[in-house]
């Protein structure tokens, strides 16, 4: 991109009303959106850009900072600034098949690295979410999941141990779909869920596993999944890098027979870094 950036430097309108940082930002945005700078392209550093364009580093820094906020580029500590891949759109409500099956429908490869798979006593939060008593045994499954070779989320799932005998002995790495196993082998299809998204800052471990800097924004998705009879079958907490994931919700117009969604309060456990304000989530209601 060096030659093109040099041309941009010559084309900058230095006497007009449009700020220089905005001209730089828009030019880079157009290049990225047009596909001229594909995902993973490394941008020159601030010093090189300021020298090439003949502007101050403050001007360059502001242009790049706004591109980071808009999710078009990302900074990797010690490595530089890169063009971001398009954000993965997650169905906040309708994705009851699970990530593996949902991604397969989109033609995206999924890989899972199992970090923990064990039977353990439920703490108060997990027990309350699954309608169990504290100390009842649950299966705890922690996985680092990747889409297209890039870290996508760090997710911990809890299931009542009595409902999934033998699950701790299964190989849940690679493209294995937990929800498909529950559905096809245990006869436990998830038919509804309560979900909430909140923003938190990445701790040291999350940052290392997800490939982001410590303190970076994460989107945390919490879910209680239900089988028939409104019985909880899973409680999970998934951490997603905020610069690569967006959650989407389809809102039906109410005139058809599609599922309806409404906002309801829910007392899902909040992380220590979250605020104490009442949570609001979207609830799926089968019609």
pLDDT in tens, 187-204: 998 888 888 888 889 899
Chosen domain end from 83, 105, 120: 83
Q: What is the 3-state secondary structure (H, E, C) of the chain?
A: CHHHHHHHHHHCCCCCCCCHHHHHHHHHHHHHHCCCCCCCCEECCHHHHHHHHCCCHHHHHHHHHHHHHCCCEEEECCCEEEECCCCEEEECCCCCCCHHHHHHHCCCCEEEEEEEEEEEECCHHHHHHCCCCCCCEEEEEEEEEEECCEEEEEEEEEEEHHHCCCHHHCCCCECCCHHHHHHHCCCCCCCEEEEEEEEEECCHHHHHHHCCCCCCEEEEEEEEEEECCCEEEEEEEEEEECCCEEEECCCCCCCCCCCEEEEEECCCCCCCCCCCCCCEEEEEECC
Same domain, 55 and 106: no
Same domain, 94 and 36: no
- If pLDDT is split at 50, 70 and 90, which confidence band does 243 have? low
Mean pLDDT of the chain: 77
Same domain, 107 and 223: yes
How many domains does the chain contain in total? Answer: 2
Q: For residues 231-254, give the mean pLDDT.
A: 74
> What confidence score (pLDDT) does residue 75 get?
84
Same domain, 155 and 261: yes
> What confidence score (pLDDT) does residue 247 get?
60
Question: Which has the higher per-residue pLDDT, 137 or 259?
Answer: 137
Same domain, 175 and 70: no
Has residue 246 got a pLDDT over 70? no
Report the CATH number at residue 124. Answer: 3.40.1410.10
Same domain, 172 and 245: yes
Chosen domain end from 65, 83, 101: 83
Same domain, 76 and 92: no
Q: For residues 138-160, give the mean pLDDT.
A: 89
Has residue 18 got a pLDDT over 60? yes
* pLDDT tens-digit map of 160-184: 999 999 999 999 988 878 988 998 8
Same domain, 106 and 222: yes
Same domain, 20 and 146: no
Same domain, 171 and 265: yes
Q: For residues 113-126, give the mean pLDDT.
A: 94
> What confidence score (pLDDT) does residue 98 get?
56
* pLDDT tens-digit map of 58-80: 999 998 988 887 778 888 878 88
Domain that holds residue 139: 88-285
């Amino acid at each position: 991109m060096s030659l093109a950036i040099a041309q941009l430097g010559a084309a900058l309108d230095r006497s007009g009303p449009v700020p220089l940082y905005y001209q730089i930002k828009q030019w880079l945005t157009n290049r990225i959106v047009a596909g001229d700078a594909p995902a993973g392209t490394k941008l020159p550093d601030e010093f090189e850009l300021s020298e090439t364009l003949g502007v101050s580093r403050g001007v360059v820094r502001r242009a790049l900072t706004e591109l980071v906020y808009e999710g078009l580029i990302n900074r990797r500590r010690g490595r530089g600034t890169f063009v971001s891949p398009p954000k993965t759109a997650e169905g906040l409500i309708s994705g009851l098949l699970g990530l593996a099956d949902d991604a397969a429908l989109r033609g995206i490869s999924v890989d899972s690295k199992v970090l923990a798979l064990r039977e353990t006593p439920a703490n108060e939060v997990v027990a309350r979410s699954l309608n169990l008593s504290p100390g009842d045994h649950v299966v705890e499954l922690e996985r680092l999941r990747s889409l297209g070779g890039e870290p996508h989320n760090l997710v911990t799932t809890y299931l009542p141990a009595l409902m999934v005998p033998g699950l701790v002995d299964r190989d849940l790495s690679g493209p294995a779909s937990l929800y498909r196993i529950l559905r096809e082998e245990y006869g436990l299809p998830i038919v509804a869920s309560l979900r909430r998204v909140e923003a938190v800052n990445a701790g040291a471990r999350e940052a290392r596993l997800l490939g982001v800097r410590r303190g970076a924004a994460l989107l945390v998705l919490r879910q209680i999944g239900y089988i028939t009879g409104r019985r909880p079958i899973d409680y999970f907490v998934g951490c997603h890098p905020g610069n690569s994931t967006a959650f989407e919700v389809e809102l039906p117009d109410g005139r058809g027979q599609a599922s309806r969604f409404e906002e309801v309060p829910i007392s899902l456990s909040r992380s220590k870094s979250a605020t104490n304000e009442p949570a609001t989530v979207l609830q799926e209601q089968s019609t």
